[in-house]
Amino acid sequence: MFNQLKTTLLLGLLTGVLIGAGYWLGGSSGAIIAFAISAAMNIGSYWFSHKIVLSMYNAKEIPKEENPRLHAMIENIAMSAQIPKPKLYLIDMPVPNAFATGRNPKHAVVAVTSAIINLLDESELKGVLAHEISHVKNRDILISSVAATIAGALSYIAQFAIFSGSFFGGSDEDGGNPFGAIVIMLLAPIVATLLHMAVSRSREYLADETGAHLIGDPRGLASALQKLEDFGRNAKLQGDPKHQATAHMFIINPFKASVLMSLFSTHPPTAERIKRLTGSVK
């Protein structure tokens, strides 16, 4: 309940920043145009991102006869979540990880790497699958798209301000303010990005909580997160930018990140996630 409320508040703050930026830059029409462009891009991403990301990692669907145990696990968890069984895909990657994608529960996909199947025991793997199915159940892909739309719109507003001249001072009657425009130009995109990342982190906590509830035991997921964290300390991927853009989808960020980029992390600290999970064990 707390994480749902937190997400709502963060999305509200993002919307407030967007409206405020539009006002201070004096171009309500610019705000509308920027929002429309950003929304169009993110709607396209919402509808087709699953195909793009699965292709990016050369993921292959896992036939039921090839891994009946994994299919049985995900089928039982999906039944508990009261959603259709997601399709199962395999990524041949040396780093253990998993993610969920798809625009809604009827078109959901859960992808796992070959390394995670080999690393985790059954209870840990079940915990990971429950976490990913929770993302589907909680419609986190839609929520992430909304947050990305608003954050992206702010970047377009800043660019629009330069080309339209609003950056150099719009009409006071239309809300223009040259000094406010400079502040908005510099700070709004950063604030929007931080809020977007905060939304993502709150959804990770919620997926942990929901996943533990679905299988009735948080210890499997907690143990899995610890193993993934330990493995990742020495085996993070050095991916190109297009792959790193998908980092938020994984249960744990599989890519190396600089100290600066870690400030914009889409994932909560693993130790805190484990603490919250194990704290619920009575």
pTM above 0.95, yes or no: no
Determine the pLDDT at residue 262: 53
Question: With the C-alpha atoms ordered 268, 272, 278, 282, is the resulting torsion angle positive or negative?
Answer: negative
Beta partners for residue 25, in sequence order? 176
Is 65 in the active site? no
Q: Among the options 132, 209, 229, 272, which is catalytic? A: 132
Determine the pLDDT at residue 126: 97
User: pLDDT tens track of the chain, all 282 residues?
Assistant: 544 555 555 555 656 666 556 555 555 665 666 666 666 666 666 676 677 788 888 999 999 999 999 999 999 999 999 999 999 999 998 889 999 988 789 989 999 999 999 999 999 999 999 999 999 999 887 777 666 666 666 666 666 665 655 544 444 444 445 565 566 666 666 776 777 777 788 889 999 999 999 999 999 999 999 999 998 777 665 555 556 667 777 898 877 655 445 556 778 899 999 999 998 554
Q: How many domains does the chain have?
A: 1
Q: What span, in angstroms and rounded, lies between the C-alpha atoms of 33 and 35?
A: 5
Determine the pLDDT at residue 177: 53
Distance (Å) of CA 35 to CA 21, 29, 41, 186, 253:
12, 10, 10, 18, 29
The angle that helices 140-164 and 2-24 make with each other, rounded to 10 degrees, is 10
Closest alpha carbon to 21 in 185, 241, 203, 151: 185
Number of H helices, E strands in the chain: 11, 4
Q: What span, in angstroms and rounded, lies between the C-alpha atoms of 219 and 13?
A: 34
Secondary structure element (H or E) that encloses residue 227, with its range: helix 219-234
Determine the pLDDT at residue 246: 72
Residue type, 68: P
Determine the pLDDT at residue 170: 46
Residue 272 belongs to what domain range?
2-279
